[in-house]
Structure 1
C-alpha cells in the first residue's frame, strides 16, 4: 500500500510539473511581448522610453534575428508569444501578413508614398542604406588610392583588403547582392562576384562584421551599413564613406501587431506609442535615412541627399531564395 501511495505521489508530481512546463509556453495576458530585430542599444532605449511613458504596462522585449522571428511566426502563427514585431525585414512581414493586425486606424499620411503599404498589415520602421567604407589611414599606409567604382574593387592591389557580409546570414550582405543583380544582371553579378572573391578576406556572418574588421585594422575596404559607419566616424575612427555611381543599396524593416491577442488594449497602446512617438526618436538618434516626408538628418557626419540604388525585388522572398541558392562563396 505504501509503495502504491508513493507511486501515486510521484505520478501527481510529474503531472504538476508537466502542467507547469506547458504553462510556460502559453502567452502571458499580463504583459506585452515585443520581438525585436534592432541592435541592443536601440532596444535599450526603447525599453527605457516605454518604462518612462507607459509605466502601467509590463513590456518584455526579446531580441531575435530577423530570420529567427520569421521562422517562429511561420511555425506558430497567431499562437506566438510575441504581440508586436519591430525591425523585421519587410520581405518577411509581407510573407507573414495573414497573421498581422491591419493598421487601418493609423495615419500613414506622413510616410513617403513609396513606403505606404497598400494592405496596411504592417508599417515601415526604417530604411537602412549600404555604403563602401574605407579606412583612410590603412590605405595611405599601403600607398593605395581609394576605389571609385565596383570595377576598381577587382584590382589586384586590393587583394586580401576587402570584406563583405555574407548574404545568406545577413540582410546587409543581401542588399548589396540584390543591388548588383539589378544593375549588372543576375548572371553578370555572379560573374563579378567570382572575381571579387579573389580580393575578399572572407564573408562575415554578421552585418557589422566588415566595420569591426576595419576598426581592428584587418581590412581596408568594407561593404557596410551607413549608420554603423557614421557611429564609428563619430567615435573618432579614420573612416570615409563612398557611394559608387550605382547609388546606395538599401532595404527597409517594418513593425506590426499580431492578430488575436489576449490583451488587445495593452498591445494597441504600446504599438500606438511606437507608431506615433518612438519611431521619430529612433530615426533622429539612430537610423535617420528618410521614410517620412520632410524628414531631416541631424546626426553629425551623416551623408545628406543620399542617392539610392535600384532595389527592385528586394521584398520578393522567392526571388531572394533563388539568388541565395546561387551563392557559392
Structure 2
C-alpha cells in the first residue's frame, strides 16, 4: 500500500469509530428518515445548517460525522467497498472531484441550481457536486507578538522565507487539512512544480509545526503561541472578532482556494431524503447562513462585507485546476510527507 494512503487511513481511524457509534442509532421509533452526513464544515456552522434543514424537513434528521477535510476524504476512500455516508456536505471540491473520479457520487441537479454561480459547482450536467461557498488562504499575523519580537509584517508568500521567521510559523498539514492542501496545490500549480517544491523547502526551514487543522494556525497566532499562522479567512475573521491582536494578510502573489460543496453518495439507500438535503443546501436560505462567515457564497448577490476582507477579494484567487489537484493528490501528499512530515503535530 502507498505510504501516503497508509497515513491517511491511520489518521481517520478515530473517526471510523465515531462513525460506527453514530450509525448504531440510525433507527427511530418516530419513523424519521435519517441521513448520515460526512462533513468538514466548521463546528461554528454545523448547528445552523442542521436546524435550518430540519425545520424545512421535520421528517428528516441529519447525523453528522465531522473531521478535517483530509481525514474525511481518507475515511470515504477507505469505505469505498462498504460505503456508510448518504451525503457529503461541506467537503472541499478537490475531494469531491476525487470521489467523482472514483465513481462514488450520484449526479443530481438540485432545485434552484440555475440560480447559483455556475463556476462554483461541477460543470457536468447534471452536476455530481454543488458548491456552497469559497474559502481561501490567509496569513494570521499577531501584531503584538511581532512588535515584541521585532518581526516585520510579511506581504507575500516569498516574504515567509526570511530567516527572521525561523520557528515562528505554523501551517496546516495538507494530508489532514483542506486548507493545507489548497496551499500546496496552489504553489505547485502557479509556481510550477520545481519552483513550488523549492519554495516549500525554504518555508519548511521556518515552520515550527504543521497542524492537523486548518483553523489551528490562526488560533495559535491569536494566542501568541506562534506569531504567524497560515490559515484561511473564515477562521482569521473569527479570531479577529474574538479580540485577538490579529491582522489578516492576503499575499500579493494570490491565494490558493477551494470550494465547500455537497454531493450525494451513489450508495445511499435514502435517495429521496438525500436529494432534499441537496435541494436545501442550494437554496437562498442556506446560502444566507453561509454569509455569516464567507466572503463568497454560491448564491450571487448575498455575500456581505466582512471585516478584514479586502474589496475585490475574488480577484485575489489564483488559477486552480480542481481536476489536476484531485488526480495528483496522492502523489503530491506522498512527496510532501517524505520531505516535511518530521514537523507534523502529534496526533491526539
The TM tier, using the shorter chain, reads 0.7 to 0.9
Q: 1:182 aligns with which of 176, 189, 192?
A: 189
Q: 1:241 aligns with which of 245, 248, 254?
A: 248
In the comparison of the two structures, how many residue pairs are matched?
A: 307
Q: CA RMSD in A?
A: 2.6
In the TM superposition, residue 230 of structure 1 has moved relative to its aligned partner by 0.6
TM-score, normalised to structure 1, is 0.83
Q: 1:87 aligns with which of 77, 87, 90?
A: 90
Mapped to 2, the partners of 1:281 and 1:234 lie a distance apart of 20
Q: 1:123 aligns with which of 123, 130, 136?
A: 130
TM-score, normalised to structure 2, is 0.78
Residue 43 (structure 2) aligns with: 40
Residue 330 (structure 2) aligns with: 321
Residue 266 (structure 1) aligns with: 273
Residue 109 (structure 1) aligns with: 114
Quick check: 1:308 aligned with 2:316? yes
In the TM superposition, residue 156 of structure 1 has moved relative to its aligned partner by 2.2
In the TM superposition, residue 86 of structure 1 has moved relative to its aligned partner by 0.1
Residues 271, 160 of structure 1: CA spacing in aligned structure 2 closer, same or farther, 3 A cutoff? same
Quick check: 1:282 aligned with 2:289? yes
Residue 3 (structure 1) aligns with: none
- What aligned pairs does 1:1-329 form with structure 2 within 5 A after superposition? 30-77=33-80, 80-97=83-100, 98-104=103-109, 106-119=111-124, 120-259=127-266, 261-306=268-313, 307-316=315-324, 317-327=326-336, 328-329=339-340
| Contact 1:170–1:206 (Cα < 8 Å) also in 2 | yes
Mapped to 1, the partners of 2:162 and 2:271 lie a distance apart of 57
Bigger CA drift: 154-163 or 108-117? 108-117
| Contact 1:175–1:314 (Cα < 8 Å) also in 2 | no
Mapped to 2, the partners of 1:190 and 1:118 lie a distance apart of 30
Mapped to 2, the partners of 1:102 and 1:235 lie a distance apart of 40
| Contact 1:284–1:298 (Cα < 8 Å) also in 2 | no
Bigger CA drift: 151-160 or 262-271? 262-271
- SS at structure 1 position matched to 2:175: coil
Mapped to 2, the partners of 1:65 and 1:144 lie a distance apart of 31
In the TM superposition, residue 277 of structure 1 has moved relative to its aligned partner by 4.2
**Consecutive aligned runs of 4 or more in structure 1 exceeding 4 Å deviation:** 24-29, 75-79
- SS at structure 2 position matched to 1:255: strand
| Contact 1:90–1:315 (Cα < 8 Å) also in 2 | no
CA offsets 1:239-260 (integer angstroms, 9 cap, x no match): 1111222112111121022336
Structure 2 unpaired stretches of 5+ = 1-19, 341-348
In the TM superposition, residue 216 of structure 1 has moved relative to its aligned partner by 2.2
CA offsets 1:139-175 (integer angstroms, 9 cap, x no match): 1122332112223222222222122112222111111
